[in-house]
Structure 1
Amino acid sequence: MTRPLQVLRTPEACFAQLPDFPYEPHYLEIDGLRYAYIDEGPRDGAPVLLMHGEPTWSYLYRKMIPGLVAAGHRVIVPDLIGFGRSDKPTERQVYSYAQHVRWMCDWLLAMDLRGLTLFCQDWGSLIGLRMLTTHPDRFARAVLANGGLPTGTVPVPRAFKLWRAFARWSPWFPIGRIVDSGCVAKLSPAEIAAYDAPFPGRRYRLAARLFPGFVPTTPNDPERAANEQAWAVLKRWDKPFLTLFSSRDPITRGGEKLFQRLVPGAQGQPHAITRGAGHFLQEDKGPELAQAIADFIRQTTVVDG
């Protein structure tokens, strides 16, 4: 008999004082795991899927949701398993890159989302681009910011190696301060506390600790083949594909060039570098990003007749 998955669920009281985040969470249970997500805007609006990364949660998108909703879009922002209000398995061996892709593909299918514009950053891209290439018929276009789809065949920046070592070995793992360090405009104490909110104890931070170690960095990585298969799909992807990287991210800076060169749908698009923004450009330039996405959708929407 299979033993039930052991999970933690962050008490709702931890989310009582979230500045500028009035959005009601929605929940979906799949195979005993509760997924949390934000779902704002008109149900018949063109849907935008915002995928967060490490070690954030849907709170990261609070500055982008209003602009996208004002433009008429349905905006869906899931919390990855292990993050935000979503359930957090307690056993290390449950987590892997492949498992996170499976979890989020299960959620995508259960939600029956179609016609999506994907916006993804950081781990949101490692997972989001796998979702897109596994179920390409559900996506109309994609926007990539400060992320990638590594196969382990290219050396990683020293900044990432330091971050990976810190996540693995440091006895101190202050998530809110980590997010703050990746922003150009510093966060307020209340915003730092909001990023800490889903992780009230050490056991709640397990996924956040593990994620850096799942990034493929060597040719023998177990996810190399799957990411190469995903790249094979991207190299045939002729739907619109936009890059919006930032100028002050030491980990992903310059990574947009590979996608612009290899993805057919990236040809001729209004790619831009977001000036004055760090790794978490959603914090530094959220309204500007929302406007760029809304403009991109409008410019690439085919109107019948």
Structure 2
Amino acid sequence: MKILRTPEACFSDLKDYPFAPHYYQITPELRLHYVDEGPRDAPPVLMLHGEPTWSYLYRHMIGPVAGAGLRVLAPDLIGFGKSDKPAARSDYSYAGQVAWLRHWIEALDLRDITLVCQDWGSLFGLRLAAEMPERFARIVLSNGGLPTGTGMPTMFRIWRAFSRYSPWFPIGRIVQSGTRRTLSREEIAAYDAPFPSAAYKAAARIYPSLVPVEPDNVAVPDQLRAWRVYEGWTKPFLCCFSNGDPITRGLDAEFRRRVPGAKDQPHTTLRGGHFIQEDDGAAFARLVVAACRQTVS
């Protein structure tokens, strides 16, 4: 496996991202980067980004949540951000990324976790919580889901075809297309930073094609097993989807209907597009802190 590592110089002078880097060796060759802010003995809040972003997406949420006395951990998925990047699309799989993240969670021995997830972060995070529910205390889900091969909106199919075939794949502009507010030139550059050339974009290119939207997708059995866990999940499960995401709009209804822990939760609609952390991050952070304070004071 050929592994690429984005030069640190690519991340110089990032706007609003003052966080010290932390690294964990998943394998002797493969290094995962993560943000770790707040008291180390506080309950952990795990913020999982999706495609094609990185922990920079949560930069406006990390400080306020850590400032509320919680420990915030925001890893970069393998293939994204400051984490290492296997160079071949065939190096990536849904189950493989779940396994990498699980390895890291177990190595840090994280417990009483509040999962905060969106986009592919929800696909990975919901699988992780279902596989080791004893480590998770609650879930805060935005603009994501746990698909089981029953199809997706036309907008997603267009995005999947673009990611697979387009010779032009500008990461920062793609993130901009999923937000309502206009990102600054520096912010767009920060999303481009992990990918100094096309060779670094294998993960960003392949993950849309791995979403299990067809019934014969290899991940469907694992998804169905995860749903069986959530149909008995009684711990808090909060949905805070946005009002302007054409891909995931309405998916929260299934969780609210099928997950016992979602009953009587203060589900909230945030204002913005797909990448709600960019459009309404302050409100998202307040919801996370409030959810944690249900049992953490």
Aligned counterpart, 1:74: 71
1:229 pairs, out of 225, 229, 243, with 225
Structure 1 residue aligned with 2:19: 23
Find the residue that maps to 1:37 and give its secondary structure.
strand
Return the letter of the residue paired with 2:243. S
Q: Could you tell me which residue of structure 2 aligns to residue 245 of structure 1?
A: 241
4+ aligned runs moved over 3 Å, structure 1: none
1:122-137 superposed matches below 5 A? 122-137=119-134
Match of 1:149 in 2: 146
Given that 1:17 and 1:194 are in contact with CA atoms closer than 8 Å, whether structure 2 keeps it comes out as no
Segments of 5+ residues of structure 2 without an aligned counterpart are none
Q: Which runs of 5+ in 1 are unaligned?
A: none
Deviations 1:5-64 (A, max 9, x none): 320000000000210000011001022210000000111222100000000000000010
Counterpart contact for 2:245–2:273, Cα < 8 Å: yes
1:89 correspondence with 2:86: yes
Q: Which amino acid aligns with 1:85?
A: K
SS of the residue corresponding to residue 50 of structure 1 reads strand
- For 2:192, the equivalent position in structure 1 comes to 196
What residue in structure 2 maps to residue 61 of structure 1? 58
Q: Tell me the CA shift for residue 302 of structure 1.
A: 6.8
SS of the residue 2:217 aligns to: coil
| TM-score normalised by length of structure 1 | 0.96
Query: In structure 2, how many angstroms separate the alpha carbons of the residues matched to 1:46 and 1:236?
Result: 24
Task: Tell me the distance in 2 between the aligned counterparts of 1:192 and 1:270.
Answer: 33
Residue of structure 2 in register with 1:262 after alignment: 258
TM-superposed CA distance for 1:91, in Å, is 2.1
The count of corresponding residues between Structure 1 and Structure 2 is 296
Judged with a 3 Å threshold, the aligned counterparts in structure 2 of structure 1 residues 302 and 72 are, in CA distance, closer, same or farther, namely closer
**Distance in 2 (alpha carbons) for counterparts of 1:104 and 1:46:** 18
* 1:92 CA drift (Å): 2.2
1:179-211 per-position Cα deviation (integer Å, ceiling 9, x unaligned)? 011001110000000000000000101100001
Pick closer, same or farther for the CA change 1:25–1:302 going to 2, 3 Å. closer
User: CA offset at residue 297 of structure 1?
Assistant: 1.2
Q: Percent identity?
A: 58
Q: Does the CA-based 8 Å contact 1:35-1:86 persist in structure 2? A: yes
Cα offsets for 1:112-158 (capped at 9, x unmatched) = 111100000000000010110011100000010000000112x2101
